[in-house]
Amino acid sequence: MKVSVIRDDITKQKVDAIVNAANESLLGGGGVDGAIHRAAGPELKEECKTLDGCPTGQAKVTKGYKLPADFVIHTVGPVWKGGTQNEEQLLAACYHESLKKANELRLSSVAFPNISTGVYGFPKRKAAEIALKAVKEYQEHHETNLEKLFFVCFDEENYTIYKDLLKE
Ligand code: ADP
């Protein structure tokens, strides 16, 4: 699996699935969640209403509707509360559970946003380290159909952090 980092809008990605940094209601919010719902159209929310929410650290799948991506994998990142509330494990679980869903669907390409690093306040460098480690560990322990994984950074700071970490 080839892992790449790009600076772009995740709603524009032509991949099999994009991952959404949703909230537990799955009924839409701000940030990347709002952008995904706007780009997918109202049918996305209709399908989300049938899912009965999603606990933090887990993931649920819908179709992509008007998005170029076929599927949306909705995962709920932890709110950063200083690092004492299992935030690191929960963030790693988001990446793990999303990859598991992508694998179950036999997808070949997936794009991730920088989960929890917006309104949820997770320190960006720490979040990037956790994301890269979770992906690496998933690959080490699972057979996967995934050929391409993109970290789609919206802000310059995240993009710089990911580029630096991927160089190492
Ligand atoms: P969270 O509540 O998980 O922190 P946010 O949506 O507030 O979710 O932020 C998560 C990340 O998504 C942030 O790094 C933010 O810059 C990024 N982001 C916001 N809009 C988009 C978009 N259209 N495409 C990709 N990433 C985005």
In the chain, the domains with their CATH numbers are 2-167 (3.40.220.10)
Per 3-state DSSP, the chain is made up of helix, strand and coil in percentages (nearest 5) of 40, 20, 40
Q: Is 69 in the pocket of ligand 1 (CB under 6 A)?
A: no
pLDDT value of residue 168: 80
Find the mean pLDDT for residues 58-79: 98
Quick one: residue 51, left, alpha or beta (phi over 0 = left, psi -120 to 50 = alpha)?
alpha
Find the mean pLDDT for residues 8-29: 97
**Strand-by-strand arrangement of the 148-153 sheet:** 2-7, 148-153, 109-112, 17-22, 71-76, 59-63
Look at residue 164 and tell me whether its pLDDT is greater than 90. Answer: yes
**What pTM does this model have?**
0.98
For a mutational test of ligand 1's pocket, the pick from 18, 36, 75, 154, i.e. the residue with the most ligand atoms closer than 8 A to its C-beta, is 154
* Cα 50 to ligand 1 centre (Å): 24
pLDDT value of residue 99: 98
Q: Is 75 in the pocket of ligand 1 (CB under 6 A)?
A: no
Look at residue 28 and tell me whether its pLDDT is greater than 90. Answer: no
Ligand 1 atom closest to residue 124's alpha carbon, by position in its atom list: 14
